[in-house]
Amino acid sequence: MISLFTDHLLSLIIAVPFIGIAILAFVRDDRLIRRISLACTLVDVALFLLLWIGFDSEQKGMQFVERMQWMPTLKIQYAVGVDGISILLLLLTIVLSPLCILCSWSAVTKHVRAFMMLILLVEGAMIVVFSALDLFLFFMLWEVTMIPMYFLIVLWGGPRRIAAGLKFVLYSLTGSLLLLVGILALYAEGGGTFDIETLSQQSYTPTAQWWMFLAFFLSFAIKLPMLPFHTWLPDAHAEAPTAGSVILAGVLLKMGGYGFLRIGLPMFPDASVQFAPWIIWLSVVGILYGGLMALAQDDIKKLVAYSSISHMGFVTLGIFSFTEQGIQGAILQMFNHGIVTGAIFLCVGQLYERTHSRSINAYGGLHKQMPRFVALFCLFTIASFALPGTGSFIGEFLVLLGAAEVNLIAAFLALGGILLAAAYMLWMLQRVVLGQPATSTAAVLPDLTRRETATLIPLAILVLWVGVFPRPLIHCMDEAVSNVVEMHKGVGKSNAPITSSQTVESPPAKSD
C-alpha cells in the first residue's frame, strides 16, 4: 500500500486537482465550494512536501518517473517525472494555487463553482506541463492551460476583458501552432517517438535543428514573452481577475522559460548556440524596454506587467549564456519572479477590492490606515527590484555573472534594468503608499483582514528565505543544470577542435 503511494506520488499530485473538479461538479453551496477547492490545493501542497523530501538532489536524471502506454500505435505515452529544474517550478505552481483561491474568497461572487473549477484545471494542467516527459502530453496540457485562462479573463475580468481575452487567445494559439509544428517535425526527424529523453539524446542535422529551433523559439518567446511578442501581456494582466493575474504572471510565463530548458537547449545544441548572440541582445533590449515602459504606466497592474517583461529578459539572458551560473540564476529568477510578482498582484488585488481602481493616482498616504499592508507591500516591491537579501537578488546576480562571461557589455546594459526597476517601483511606492491620500476613499481604507494577511505571509517568508539561504534551491538543480551545460560545452567551442581530437585519438586505437 505504501509503495503504491510512493510509486505514484507524482501522479497523485497531478490527480488531486482533477478529482477536485469532479467533486465540485456535485456541490451547490458556494462556501462549501470554496472550502473544497482550498482543501484540494492544500492536499497538493502536503503531497508535494512528501515529494520534496523524497527528492534526491545528488541523483542524475529524472526521478519519480512513471510511464504508461497511452496510444501505443503512435508511441504516445503518459510519462511524468521531475528533475531539479521542474521541481522548483512545481513548487511555484503548488504554492501559488491555494493563495489564488484564498484571494478570490470574497472577490468572486458570481459563478463561484465555475471559477474554482477553472483554477483547479489550470493548476492540474500546469503541474503536468512541468513534469511531462512526453512531448505530446506536454503539448496537450500546454493547450489546456490556455482555455481556462481565457475564460477567467473574459468572464471575471475588468472592463476591457473581451478584447484582452481575444488577444491572449490569438497570440497563444499562434504560439501553440508553432509548437505543434515543431513537435511534429521533431517526431518525424527523431524516428517517430515523443519521448523527451530519447529525443534529446539524438542528434539532428544543422538545417533541421535551425528550423525546429525557430519554431520552438517563437512559441516560447510568445509565452515568455520576449520583446516583439509581448503586447498580449499588459492587456491580459491588467484585465484578468486577481487570481488570473497571479497564475498568469506567477506560473504561465515560466512555461516559456521551462520550454527553453527542457526542449530548446538539450535538443538543438547547435542551433541554440548559433542563435544565442541574437537572443542575448534581444533579452537586453527587452530588459531595458520593459523597464522604460513600466516607468510610463499609470495603471498599477500594467506597471507590474511591463516589469514582468523586463524580468523575463533576465531569464533568457541567463539561459542563453550557457553557463551554470547563468542558467541556475535564470531558474531562480523564474521562481522568485513568480513569488514576488504573484505577491504584488495579490496586494494590488486587495487594493482593487477596496476601491475598484487600478490607477496609481487614486491612492496615496496608505501608510496611516494600512500599516500591515504597507509593510508587506514594501517588502514585495523592494524584492521586485532585486534588493540584496531578497531572493530576486541572488537570481539576477547569478544571471549577470553568467552573462558577463559571455558578453560583458550586455551584462553591463542589463544592470540598467535593475536601476529602472528601482526607479519605477519606488516612484509607484511613493505615489501609492507615502504622502497624503489623493482621494477621499483612499483616506479611509481598512487594513488587511486576517485572511488577506495569511495570503501574503507565506510569500513573504519565501522571499526572505530564498534571499538569505538560497543554497538548498540551487543545490537541488545542480545536477540537471550541469547536464545541460555539459551538453553545450562541446558545441560552444566550435566543432573544429572536437573533430581534430577525434582524429588524433583514432590512430592509437588502430595500432592497438
Partner 1 sequence: MSAFYVLIALLPLLAAIVIALAGHRLGEASRKVGTLAIGTSFGLSVLAFLQLVVSGQPIFIPLYQLLKTGDLTINLALYVDQLSVLVLLLVTGVSFVVHAYSSRYMIGDTRYSRFFALMALFTFAMVTLVMSSNLLMIFICWELMGICSYLLISHQSERKAACNAATKAFLVNAVADVGLLFGLVLTYTTFGTLDIKEILELAPSISGQTINLLSATGGDLQIQTVTLITLFLFAGCAGKSAQIPFHVWLPQAMEAPTPVSALIHAATMVNAGPFLLIRLSPLVMLSPAAMMVIAIVGGTTALFAGIVSLTQTDIKKSLAYSTISQIGFMIMTCGLGAFVAALFHLLAHGLLKGYLFLSTGNQLEAAATHGHSHADGDSGHDKPTWSLHLGALALACVPPVILFSGPYQQLWTAHQSQAAQVVFIVIGLLTVFFTAMYCVRGVTTLFHHNPDQTIKPKFYSRFHLLVVSAGILLLVAALLLLWSWFKPFLMPALGEPYIITTTLWQPISGVSLLVTALIAAACGWAIASVLPTTFNLFSLFPAGVRKRLYVLFLNKFYFDETYDVCVVQPVIRISRWICRVVDDGIVDRVIVQLGRSCVGMAIWIWRTIDVRGIERSAVNAGSRSVALAHWLWTYIDVRPFDSDSNPKPNSAATTDANSDLHDVAARPLQHQLLVQVLWLIVAITFFYWLVLYP
Which of residues 46 and 419 has its CB atom nearest to partner 1 in the complex? 419
Applying CB under 8 A, which part among 34-42, 147-155, 424-432, 451-459 lies near partner 1? 424-432
Q: Is 475 in the site for partner 1 (CB under 8 A)?
A: yes
Q: Is 469 in the site for partner 1 (CB under 8 A)?
A: yes
Which of residues 98 and 290 has its CB atom nearest to partner 1 in the complex? 290
- The minimum distance between CB 159 and partner 1, in angstroms, equals 18
- The minimum distance between CB 454 and partner 1, in angstroms, equals 16
**Total binding residues toward partner 1, as defined by CB under 8 A:** 61
Q: Is 125 in the site for partner 1 (CB under 8 A)?
A: no
Q: How far is CA 336 from the centre of its chain?
A: 9
Q: How far is CA 485 from the centre of its chain?
A: 21
Instruction: Pick from 150, 220, 345, 393 the residue near partner 1 by CB under 8 A.
Output: 393
Instruction: Report d(CA 451, CA 76) in Å as an integer.
Output: 44
Beta-sheet pairing, 76-82 with 63-71:
antiparallel
Q: Is 382 in the site for partner 1 (CB under 8 A)?
A: yes
Closest Cα to residue 206, out of 275, 258, 263, 139? 275
User: Which H, E and C letters describe 404-449, residue by residue?
Assistant: HHHCHHHHHHHHHHHHHHHHHHHHHHHHHCCCCCCCCCHHHCCCCC
Q: Is 184 in the site for partner 1 (CB under 8 A)?
A: no
Q: Is 401 in the site for partner 1 (CB under 8 A)?
A: yes
Q: Is 470 in the site for partner 1 (CB under 8 A)?
A: yes
Instruction: Look at the block and give the residue holding cell 523586463.
Output: 310
Instruction: Pick from 61, 191, 435, 490 the residue near partner 1 by CB under 8 A.
Output: 435
Q: Is 5 in the site for partner 1 (CB under 8 A)?
A: no
Which of residues 141 and 293 has its CB atom nearest to partner 1 in the complex? 293
Beta partners for residue 132, in sequence order: 80
Which of residues 207 and 436 has its CB atom nearest to partner 1 in the complex? 436
Q: How far is CA 211 from the centre of its chain?
A: 25
User: Which H, E and C letters describe 103-160, residue by residue?
Assistant: HCCCCCCCCHHHHHHHHHHHHHHHHHHHHECEHHHHHHHHHHHHHHHHHHHHHHCCCC
Q: Is 228 in the site for partner 1 (CB under 8 A)?
A: yes
Q: Is 70 in the site for partner 1 (CB under 8 A)?
A: no
Instruction: Pick from 88, 226, 340, 418 the residue near partner 1 by CB under 8 A.
Output: 418
Q: Per-residue x/- marks for partner 1, 229-258, CB under 8 A?
A: -xx---------------------------
Instruction: Report d(CA 293, CA 202) in Å as an integer.
Output: 42
Which of residues 251 and 288 has its CB atom nearest to partner 1 in the complex? 288
Q: Is 408 in the site for partner 1 (CB under 8 A)?
A: yes
- The minimum distance between CB 38 and partner 1, in angstroms, equals 27
Instruction: Pick from 70, 210, 427, 465 the residue near partner 1 by CB under 8 A.
Output: 427
Instruction: Look at the block and give the residue holding cell 483561491.
Output: 101
Q: Per-residue x/- marks for partner 1, 346-375, CB under 8 A?
A: -------------------x-xx-------
Q: DSSP letters along 437-504, please?
A: -SSTTGGG-----HHHHHHHHHHHHHHHHHHH--HHHHHHTHHHHHHHHHHHHHHHT-HHHHHHHHHH
Instruction: Report d(CA 129, CA 132) in Å as an integer.
Output: 5
Q: Is 318 in the site for partner 1 (CB under 8 A)?
A: no
Q: Is 491 in the site for partner 1 (CB under 8 A)?
A: no
Instruction: Report d(CA 483, CA 199) in Å as an integer.
Output: 15
Instruction: Pick from 7, 405, 447, 486 the residue near partner 1 by CB under 8 A.
Output: 405
Please check whether residue 342 is in contact with residue 96, taking contact to mean a CB–CB distance below 8 angstroms.
yes
Instruction: Pick from 108, 474, 480, 487 the residue near partner 1 by CB under 8 A.
Output: 474
Which three cell numbers mark 482?
A: 550541469
Which three cell numbers mark 180?
A: 505543434
- The minimum distance between CB 85 and partner 1, in angstroms, equals 14
Q: Is 407 in the site for partner 1 (CB under 8 A)?
A: yes
Instruction: Pick from 436, 440, 502, 511 the residue near partner 1 by CB under 8 A.
Output: 436
Applying CB under 8 A, which part among 4-12, 117-125, 225-233, 343-351 lies near partner 1? 225-233
Instruction: Pick from 478, 479, 483, 491 the residue near partner 1 by CB under 8 A.
Output: 478
Query: What are the φ and ψ backbone dihedral angles of 78, each rounded to 5 degrees?
Result: -90, 105
| Helices and strands: H and E segment counts in the chain | 24, 2
41: enclosing H helix or E strand: helix 30-54
Instruction: Report d(CA 123, CA 251) in Å as an integer.
Output: 9
Instruction: Pick from 297, 336, 384, 455 the residue near partner 1 by CB under 8 A.
Output: 297
Q: Is 454 in the site for partner 1 (CB under 8 A)?
A: no
**CA count, 13 A, side-chain hemisphere, 264:** 27
Interface positions with partner 1 (CB under 8 A): 73, 167, 170-171, 228, 230-231, 289, 292-293, 295-297, 323-325, 328-329, 365, 367-368, 378, 382, 387-389, 393-394, 397-398, 400-401, 404-405, 407-412, 415-416, 418-419, 422-423, 426-427, 430, 433-436, 469-471, 474-475, 478, 482, 485
